[in-house]
Amino acid sequence: LHITKIDIMTSASNDLSAVTNTLTDDVSSWEGKNLISVTQMTTSGILRLFETAQSMRNLVRSKGGDDRLKHKVLASVFYEASTRTSCSFQAAMMRLGGTFLHVDGGKGGNTSASKKGESLEDTIRCLECYTDVTVLRHPTTGSVQQVALGDGTVKPVINAGDGVGEHPTQALLDFFTIFDELGLSLDVDNGNNTADNSHTGPLVVVLLGDLKHGRTVHSLAKLLARSSLKHELVLRYCAPASLEMPAHVKEYVQQCTDVKQEEYSDMSEAVKGANVLYVTRVQKERFETTEDYEKVKGAYVVDTSLMEAAPQGMIVMHPLPRVDEISTDVDSDPRACYFRQMENGMFVRMAILALILGAP
């Protein structure tokens, strides 16, 4: 059974049905809203976000920022370790004239809330008394959604990663990077990419590494599949035997039109004809034992020999941090765009904050 992309909902949680496809090209549809899942955005809404991110990039490069979010305060609440996501959201807020409060809710962190037995909902409700928007990361899958869609919160909540569930802002910055680097066109009004390097033919994306625990690849696969591209999409999954893409993600993608899914074990075969190689680290913190981690650590390493055999137009992405899955020798290759990808993260999160806080 194939259904139109605009009607697809996540099968894992019916609670999201009320907000599915509600973020559109109308800027008022974003104002004051939560961002919990990639299923909330229509393709026209994605284009609106991308155009806003491009304007943010121009703003930063020309003026450094502005004051459109002056007197606005962000609550940066992380119950898991974070460097890139937390810092890019904080930088995004400051670039637009706002400020932030950071709460490290993890073990040994700077908050007493969880140590005193306070519920997550109460913690966020209290922080809302001082702030205008919350960015929340939590190790329990579904926890951010529960907080955001419950009766307790009254201000917008942005999902910064919930266990092995979703990481929607990472998926959006990843998609923006692919869109920008390859010159993709979206199948909506004004969606044609007029860049000199505009992409033609199928879009072949290789997702490599720990696909079981990688919430970034879960969200990216769903986002690419549900978006209306003017290109056939081919998703290639390349993972160690115990770390394959979860069935629920593949089932979701299977419902989408104009998408093929392929599975590989040989990395050199997977990259043949590819446009994007998206690399993920094997996440030690997700394994129950060190022995299990050691069995799959280093299963795939992207090095100069692989890049010599890979297509000349193939970009290499990584959500970072990396351990040993991409050799540092690859960094000088112009196809390595993971640091450009990180910078895009700030531009996309500036766009998200501006849209949600009503100042695009």
> What CA–CA distance (Å, rounded) separates 96 from 101?
15
Q: Give the bridge partners for 75, in sequence order.
A: 101, 134
Q: Is 85 a catalytic residue?
A: yes
Of 33, 68, 137, 215, which one is the catalytic site residue?
137
DSSP string, 197-248: T---S-EEEEEES-TTT-HHHHHHHHHHHHS-BSS-EEEEEE--TTSPPPHH
Closest alpha carbon to 148 in 132, 169, 124, 171:
124
Closest alpha carbon to 208 in 217, 220, 199:
217
Q: Is 137 a catalytic residue?
A: yes
Of 167, 199, 213, 215, which one is the catalytic site residue?
167
> What CA–CA distance (Å, rounded) separates 53 from 30?
14
Of 10, 43, 85, 216, which one is the catalytic site residue?
85
Burial class (CB in 10 A: 0-12, 13-18, 19+), 288: exposed
To which residue do tokens 């990481």 refer? 167
Q: Is 84 a catalytic residue?
A: yes
> For residue 38, how many C-alpha atoms fall within 13 Å in the half-sphere facing its CB?
30
Of 84, 102, 272, 284, which one is the catalytic site residue?
84
Of 116, 194, 200, 289, which one is the catalytic site residue?
116
The catalytic residues are: 84-85, 116, 137, 167
